[in-house]
Structure 1
Amino acid sequence: MLTKVEGKLAVKLARDAIETHLKSGKNIDISEIELPSVFNEKRGVFVTLTKDELLRGCIGHPYPDSPLKYAITDSAISAAFRDPRFPPVRADEIKRIVVEVTILTPPKRIDASPKELPGKIEIGKHGLIVKKGYYQGLLLPQVAPENDMDEIDFLNHTCLKAGLEYDAWLTGAEVYSFEGQIFAEKEPLGEVIEKHFEKGSCSST
């Protein structure tokens, strides 16, 4: 778990990476930034951008394949400029964008029969990955409570995200769960808070 101070640094690093790329077209030089030791640990991470409460980009590293500091900056750049669903972020809109960083635990396959899967999922706590063959889809823990999904809805939408039939989790697809620690700006360039989700609600600290 990251502390509040480390979470604020994570969000600042993501925003700085985007702003540096906008100004110079280059990647931020992390070697010049002093960061706590946790940023050298390998962690999965996603960076989510929203503008006017609408998604503006979301890309990340599902698995702990690189040090957190590099995963954050790479995910931030990808969310801002490489998300195929959106045009690249422009310099004139970055001050209207809210930056959110989700630090992930390693995904673990849910050991249960298909009919038992919904009972193994805790809305607001778990994110999901669905895999089948070459197809894979991921939804972050905050997606279900933010969209009023129950466990079956969450499974269905993760399958659709993977490009599979909505009920692929009932017909042999592998389902993995993970948890996420979420830090986000309350408003563009604003105070950074840690978000906590419970079923049907959200709180912050």
Structure 2
Amino acid sequence: MASSKQFTIIKPEMCYFCFDVLHSHLNNLQAPQAQFSCTDMYPLFVTWKIGKEKRLRGCIGTFSEMDLHTGLREYSITSAMKDSRFSPVSRDEFPHLQVSVSILCRFEPGQNYLDWEIGVHGIRIEFINEKGSKRSATYLPEVAHEQGWDKIETIDSLLRKGGYKAQITPDYRNQIRLVRYQSEIISVSHQEYVHHCRTRSQGEH
């Protein structure tokens, strides 16, 4: 299958903006202005990783279409400070971060829980938990590939992420509603951000 990796939406400036926003938040500075223009609305996720091994440090986003300036400003902070799996990011950690921005697109309903491709599609599942409540959970397209999971391992991990605690059976998996999607993703390290800031400040003189 031919790769369609020509980015049409995403730009490194979006990642620089996320760093600007978090830096301002951590240091109680005035919120920065975005250095990119985009008038369209998209679902998006912001992911922070830390250290040489790039451990996950926070990942939150929305499936609602948002203005990218507003969405990136909001989720830069939310993913760094309010991901319930982690403590809030500290100022000491800031120089060791990497940020990824994912713009989600091409949403399609899956025929069943296996109707998606590892490394190509992100998946969002909806399911009824053991208490009868409707729950949902998602993994971005890169997660299964990075973890080395097959499709069933990915689905089962996603059920656990969504809070399902009972035994997972083949019959139960068949009751899942799955939507697959693709994303444009770009990542920037703190070093690249610092280099960009130096270049930007030289351009302002």
User: Quick one: higher RCO (CA 8 Å, sep 6+), 1 or 2?
Assistant: 2
Residue identity in the other structure for 2:179: Y
SS of equivalent to 1:85: coil
Residue in 1 that maps onto 2:139 = 139
Q: Would you say the 8 A contact 2:13–2:35 is kept in 1? A: no
The C-alpha deviation readout for 1:38-96, integer Å capped at 9, x for no partner, is x32111111111112211111111232x2122111111110111111111111121011
SS of equivalent to 2:27: helix
**TM-score normalised to the size of structure 2?**
0.77
Residue in 2 that maps onto 1:96 = 96
How much has 1:107 moved relative to structure 2? Answer: 3.3
Q: d(CA) in 2 for partners of 1:18 and 1:169?
A: 41
Q: d(CA) in 1 for partners of 2:16 and 2:22?
A: 10
Residue identity in the other structure for 1:107: F
Q: Would you say the 8 A contact 1:81–1:88 is kept in 2? A: yes
Note closer, same or farther for the CA distance 1:93–1:75 as it changes in structure 2 (3 Å cut): same
Residue in 2 that maps onto 1:188 = 190
Unmatched runs of 5 consecutive residues or more in structure 2: 1-5, 129-133, 194-205
Residue in 2 that maps onto 1:199 = none
Alpha-carbon RMSD across the aligned residues, in angstroms, is: 2.3
**TM-score normalised to the size of structure 1?**
0.77
Q: Would you say the 8 A contact 1:97–1:188 is kept in 2? A: yes
Query: Paired residues, what number?
Result: 178
Match of 2:13 among 2, 9, 14: 9
Residue in 1 that maps onto 2:83 = 83
Residue in 2 that maps onto 1:57 = 58
Q: Looking at CA atoms only, which structure, 1 or 2, has the larger radius of gyration?
A: 2
Do residues 126 (structure 1) and 99 (structure 2) align? no
Residue in 1 that maps onto 2:23 = 19
% of aligned pairs identical?
Answer: 24
Unmatched runs of 5 consecutive residues or more in structure 1: 192-205
SS of equivalent to 1:172: coil
The C-alpha deviation readout for 1:158-181, integer Å capped at 9, x for no partner, is 222222254576241211111111
